[in-house]
Amino acid sequence: LAVYFSAGVISTMVSYLCKTATGRFYPSLGASGAVMAVLAAVCTKVPEAKLGIIFLPMVTFTAGNALKALVAIDTAGLMLGWRLFDHAAHLGGALFGV
């Protein structure tokens, strides 16, 4: 629980610093940075674990590849200014979890 709360604080700080540095202020809500930290920790600990998409059972991938894809998507979102998700918080959480 301490790791989860710490990840939430760190990912929120990363998000705030990124918003301050870029001047792009938009609201963010939730604990997705902390969830990303836990996911990154599990994917780093067991990178060969098989994961899948619940509605597409025939599609499987390794946890390591899933983490790489999520980090790539969030990096693209941060660089391209996508505002649907707080990509900086996700990346901060992933960095904390690794």
Token pair for 76: 């693209």
The residues annotated with a catalytic role in the active site are: 32, 90
Q: Determine the Cα–Cα distance for residues 25 and 84; give it in Å rounded to an integer.
A: 13
Biggest CA–CA distance in the chain, Å, is 43
Q: How many CA atoms lie within 13 A of 70 on its CB side?
A: 25
Q: Determine the Cα–Cα distance for residues 89 and 75; give it in Å rounded to an integer.
A: 11
